[in-house]
Chains A and B, each alone.
Chain A
Amino acid sequence: MNITQILFWILSGAAVISAIMVVVSRNPIHSILWLIVVFFCISGHYILLNAQFLAIVNLIVYAGAIMVLFLFVIMLMNPNKTNAQQKSLWKKLVGVIAGGCFLLTWIPLIKQAPEIHNKVALLKDGNIGLIGNLGKVLFSDYLVPFEITSVLFLSAMVGAVVIGKKE
């Protein structure tokens, strides 16, 4: 086991454990904090895959901006413990069975999938995930979708103004 593999397993384990904690936590604030840990672990994976820019953006946008928004919303809504509805045992049981069936179908599928079996990610060199390379691809091969995205954002902005403006 070299250092990359050790790092991979540590990050994977941490990601899975904290993802479980997101779901298990009773307090929504704790859930969000655990979610931030998940994002950090995933960013670590991105760095291992030579996608440094993606890792930073993931941290800034998701762990930074979006999670702060989440926190704000939850604090504004102020959900009390008494508010949380107690789910009946029946509902829990059905949920466990449905989720278990889903898992059962997934595990053999993934185990047999030839795309994943004994394959490692293709890494050319350490520079591939740098912002310079990303920019070159974005403004040459993917120029048309990049420009079209502006229409998407424009329509979203127009919509935000229409909804937010006082009549």
Chain B
Amino acid sequence: MNAIILSAIAGVVMMFSGIFSKNKHALTNTAIAGLLILLIGNILDTYHVYTITVNTHDMLHFDKFGASFNSIAIGATLLYVLLSGRDIEKVGVNVAEYYALVFFALCGISLLSSFNSLLILFLGVEIMSIPLYILTGADKKNLKGNEASLKYFLMGAFSTGIMLMGIALLYGATGNFEINPSQSLINVPLTHGILGPLGLLFIFISLSFKVSAAPFHFWTPDVYDGAPSVFTSFMATIIKSAGFIAFIRLFSSRSEDLEVSWQVILPLVIVATLLIGNITAVFQQSVKRMLAYSSIAQAGFMLFALYGSNDLAREGIILYATAYSLATIGIFAILIRMKDYTFDGYNGLAKKQPLLAFVNTVFLLSLAGIPLTAGFFAKYYMLASAIKEGGHSALWLVIVALLFAAVSVYYYFRVIQAMYFKDGEAEMSETNKGFRILLVIIACIIILIGIYPSLLLDRLYF
């Protein structure tokens, strides 16, 4: 509850600090302070030191899993603001409002990590999405950004409609909004009716849209490409992982209600997501667009947590969220400073900025899932959970995933190749010392988790 209340309050505080201060740096510092308080509040909540208790009538369920994810989301946002705060200030004049929207999105995320009622699921998804529609169009003079924002809004509204239809059908099937109804008001087992499975299918479609899984991914490249790069970074990492947390919370208890169709639909979605994400990413010329498609491909891997939906999958999704968020935030922080977003723009970066080129390499290796980086264990846990759940029937799925992981190495290494083995004048805006130190710290965290994943995973139990 701490995270939900504090993030809402921090959002309101940010709104008002925009009235009193026109100094953009001061606003960024306020946001950093707010995020620190939020992080501390959430950690206190995790270890039951101090919790604001509210009678939620069982609509919210707080556990270690959700609280740990909150900490990761808030911590990643903190790193993101520390790294890219200067770039957020450059997007437009309404800096205070941008930060307020980021805090509101965090409020939605903390709802999604603890919901126990479909009503809260809906509110969480909406509170998380609406700030994003606006942040996408934050750069009002950029036509591409406007188009992306409108497209995102219309499609997002449509997917919300589908989710509401699903929730209504589920309500019709059980007579209440709980995700795990203990007793049904109507004495019909959920599996025998049509309303329950159909409702779950609708919610599945809508959540797949939010995490850009394959048949519902069409908005992703345009929106990620059109939005200001700083906000793409936020969208592609923290928000996307939060979508998966919502997915797991809902479907780990409900997937058997879909019975047979679940075993057919989910592998299809996973393979389609991996196929479209990886193959299209190979043909991109712009690094930003490549990252958009790679985020679709990474979503394909995260969907394995849904397929497994056991303890291993829960650990894995926490690990994956951390590894993927940290690496992508780092890559975007460097990308934003580049003059040219194409692969050629990275030519010869290693000669001019050896340190930045090195940390960028670490991030890319982590995304590709090379051992000794966090990305390796993240992918390992995902595939292991699928094997543990499905046994031999899941083997073909794992082999397909491994093949596509090999494909992904190609486009991640194109950036590394451009940085180290091509001659050119990579142009970059000025970076200060703090920026570089932070990037090195993030790279260290990625390598540390890559060697001792238990550092992070033990937090789930103690």
User: What are 23 A-B interface contacts by the 8 Å CB criterion?
Assistant: A112-B194, A115-B194, A141-B57, A142-B57, A143-B57, A144-B120, A145-B117, A148-B120, A148-B123, A149-B123, A151-B8, A151-B104, A154-B12, A154-B104, A155-B100, A155-B105, A156-B130, A158-B97, A158-B104, A158-B131, A159-B134, A161-B97, A163-B140
Query: Contact between B131 and A148 (Cβ–Cβ < 8 Å)?
Result: no
Interface of B toward A, CB cutoff 8 Å: 4, 8, 11-12, 15, 54, 56-57, 59-60, 92-94, 97-98, 100-101, 104-105, 107, 111, 117, 119-120, 123, 126-127, 130-131, 133-134, 137-138, 140-141, 172-173, 186, 188, 192-195, 198
Q: Smallest CB–CB gap between A159 and chain B, Å? A: 4
Q: Smallest CB–CB gap between B243 and chain A, Å? A: 17
Q: Given that A154-B11, A162-B97 are contacting pairs, would A148 and B111 also be in contact in the complex, using a CB cutoff of 8 Å?
A: yes
Contacts of B141 in A (CB 8 A): 167
Query: Contact between A165 and B104 (Cβ–Cβ < 8 Å)?
Result: no
Pick the contact of A115: B117, B120, B186 (CB < 8 A). Answer: B186
Question: Interface on chain B toward A: helix, strand, loop, or mixed SS?
Answer: helix
Tell me the bound Cα distance from A110 to B169 in angstroms.
12
CB of A84 closer than 8 Å to a CB of B:
no
Q: Which residue of B lies closest to A119 (CB)?
A: B186
Pick the contact of A144: B12, B54, B93, B98 (CB < 8 A). Answer: B54
Query: Contact between A114 and B123 (Cβ–Cβ < 8 Å)?
Result: no
CB of A109 closer than 8 Å to a CB of B:
yes
Query: Contact between A159 and B131 (Cβ–Cβ < 8 Å)?
Result: yes
Query: Contact between A165 and B172 (Cβ–Cβ < 8 Å)?
Result: no
Q: Smallest CB–CB gap between B368 and chain A, Å? A: 36
Interface of A toward B, CB cutoff 8 Å: 109-110, 112-116, 119, 141-145, 148-149, 151-152, 154-156, 158-159, 161-163, 165, 167
Query: Contact between B11 and A151 (Cβ–Cβ < 8 Å)?
Result: yes
Q: Given that A145-B120, A145-B123 are contacting pairs, would A155 and B186 also be in contact in the complex, using a CB cutoff of 8 Å?
A: no
Pick the contact of B195: A113, A151, A162 (CB < 8 A). Answer: A113
Given A115-B173, A144-B57, 18 other A-B residues pairs in contact with their CB atoms under 8 A? A110-B194, A112-B194, A113-B194, A114-B188, A114-B192, A114-B193, A119-B186, A142-B57, A142-B119, A144-B56, A145-B59, A148-B4, A148-B123, A152-B127, A155-B11, A155-B100, A159-B131, A162-B134
Query: Contact between B134 and A163 (Cβ–Cβ < 8 Å)?
Result: yes
Tell me the bound Cα distance from A113 to B57 in angstroms.
31
Contacts of A119 in B (CB 8 A): 186
Question: 9 shortest A-B CB distances, which residue pairs?
Answer: A159-B134, A155-B104, A113-B194, A144-B56, A162-B97, A115-B193, A162-B94, A145-B119, A151-B8
Pick the contact of B59: A109, A114, A144 (CB < 8 A). Answer: A144
Q: Smallest CB–CB gap between B186 and chain A, Å? A: 6
Tell me the bound Cα distance from A142 to B59 in angstroms.
9
Contacts of B97 in A (CB 8 A): 158, 161-162
Tell me the bound Cα distance from A154 to B130 in angstroms.
10
Q: Which residue of B lies closest to A144 (CB)?
A: B56
Query: Contact between A167 and B93 (Cβ–Cβ < 8 Å)?
Result: yes
